[in-house]
Amino acid sequence: MTVQPPGGTIDIAGKTVSRLGLGTMRLTGPGTWGDPANRSTAIATLRAAVDGLGITHLDTADAYGPHTVEHLIKDALHPYPDNLLIATKVGFARPAPGVWVPHGHPVYLRACVEASLRRLAVERLDLCYLHRIDPAVPLADQLGTLAALRDEGKIGHIGLSKVTLDDFEQARKQIVVAAVQNPLNIRIAYDEVLEACIDTGIPYVAYRPLDAGAALLDGDATRALGRLLARAPNIAPIPGTSSPEHLALNVNAANVKWA
């Protein structure tokens, strides 16, 4: 039996994928540091998403762990289905639990991409985001490095994460932006970058769509996800979870229609 993609489908980075994706940051230890409390459960969550629930968009980053989740994805799912989009991110250094430092030096970004290729056991990162813009490095240098890696065949498409409208407009002067990933939820209800993405048809990957569980605590997960999906066809929420049971609830919520 064919499993329907939760929330419908969207085209991102050359693939048609489920609009509901899986954010994987919670598949680590406290402070987004180290291994998860139960590695078997983390593996089961990834397999349930792809093999059982129809999710074909996984979002990760080299900074999750750091490196932990990319290893988990490879161990759980490799060899990957052709229709699976694994999006990763580079540009954060992780000196300690809970500490995130933007690091956009070209040498560092290139090393991060090369390492992610090895951890995920792929020849190309289908979608690679600049995780954060490093204010200490010219944006042109950061994007230029990713563009060079794209030209070398090591990155398929380039995305932007946690950006302002000015960031977005400046980046579009230099590269083709394949996707933007910003927070959007019941508390962060407006983002001018979303409006720009709607106008340009660029996929908008909404992270923290349940506000780190706030919507669940309010008993409002169904409404939160359903209304995000109904808001614009280019919105692709990526709620995170660390359990197959919670993941199944999110999938059910994404398939409920809200006006």
Catalytic residue among 64, 129, 204, 207: 64
Our answer to whether residue 64 is catalytic in this structure is yes
Radius of gyration from C-alpha coordinates of the chain: 17
DSSP bridge partners of 9: 18
Q: Which are the contacts of 116, defined by CB distance < 8 A and separation ≥ 6?
A: 62, 70, 88, 90, 125, 128
Q: DSSP for the chain?
A: -PPPPTT-EEEETTEEEESS-EE-TTSSSTTTBSS-S-HHHHHHHHHIIIIIS---EEE--TTTBTTHHHHHHHHHHPSPPTT-EEEEEE-EE-SSTT--EE---HHHHHHHHHHHHHHHT-SSEEEEEE-S--TTS-HHHHHHHHHHHHHTTSEEEEEEES--HHHHHHHHTTS-EEEEEEE-SSSS---HHHHHHHHHT--EEEESTTTTTHHHHTT-HHHHHHHHHHH-TTEEE--B-SSHHHHHHHHHHHTS---
Enumerate the active-site residues.
Answer: 64
